Amino acid sequence: MFTGIIEELGSVASLEIRVDGARIRIAASLVNSDGKDGDSIAVNGVCLTALDVASDGFSADVSRETLDRSTLGNLKEGSKVNLERAVTPATRLGGHIVQGHVDGCGTFQSAEQNGDFYTVRIGFPQGLARYFVYKGSVAVEGISLTIASLADSHFDIAIIPKTWQLTNFSTLKSGDAVNLEADVIAKYVERMLSIREN
């Protein structure tokens, strides 16, 4: 489990696409500093199992399912990635409950600067629309964010200067795919209601 508060901006050292998945190597220094093989680390919001942990980074195997559902297969050597270690029992939950289980890909549509702040517009697929609510939580690229305005096919989020500087948002361009994870509470409510109706 994660909080959606990004700890480090890492980069892709290598990405080897295989028939049944991929092997990715992430260059990092903080999230791996106290890590060991088998730890969970979120990469752009995708929960991965760290392998070959060293002082300069870590590797991870990425399944075909994860490549198909997320943007990890689009990464290239040098791509900037948002990194977060899994929470511990003593961690402050500064964002919201983020599982690292990406629900689908959205589209980075625009970023409008207002002084040091940004308003970012994210397009989403219709299949995820029912999970988004005004002032509700959403994880975009693993970042815990609040929906500031909501339309049928997109939402806007307000980005503070620290988030803009510490994450890969500043590297995204209009049309780029982004990982989306809906608030897990919405999914549980939907499931409970569907069972009650049957």
The model's pLDDT over 35-62, given as tens digits with 9 standing for 90+, comes to 999 999 999 999 999 999 999 999 999 9
Same domain, 184 and 109: yes
Q: Which of 45-54, 142-151, 181-190 has the lowest mean pLDDT?
A: 181-190
Q: Is residue 63 part of a domain?
A: yes
pLDDT at 92: 75
Tokens in use for 48? 């991965």
Task: Report the largest interatomic distance among the alpha carbons of the chain, rounded to a whole angstrom.
Answer: 53
pLDDT at 26: 98
User: 86 Cβ partners below 8 Å, 6+ apart?
Assistant: 1, 2, 39, 40, 41, 42, 47
Taking the C-alpha atoms of residue 24 and residue 131, their distance in angstroms, rounded to an integer, is 30
Same domain, 189 and 108: yes
pLDDT at 91: 77
pLDDT at 197: 63
- The CATH number given to whatever domain includes residue 158 is 2.40.30.20
Decide if pLDDT at 198 tops 70. Answer: no
pLDDT at 101: 93
What percent of the chain is modeled with pLDDT above 70? 99
pLDDT grade, residue 181 (50/70/90)? very high
pLDDT grade, residue 89 (50/70/90)? confident
- Its pTM surpasses 0.75: yes
Same domain, 37 and 108: no
Same domain, 59 and 114: no
Contact 141, 10 (CB under 8 A): no
Same domain, 134 and 72: no
Domain containing 150 equals: 104-197
112 vs 93 pLDDT, higher one: 112
CA distances from 157 to 22, 112, 118, 166 (A): 32, 11, 8, 16
pLDDT at 27: 98
Tokens in use for 168? 């890969």
User: 85 Cβ partners below 8 Å, 6+ apart?
Assistant: 2, 7, 31, 35, 39, 40, 41, 42
CA neighbours closer than 13 Å in the CB half-sphere of residue 44 = 29
Tokens in use for 128? 């995820």
Dihedrals phi, psi of 27, to nearest 5 degrees:
-85, 125
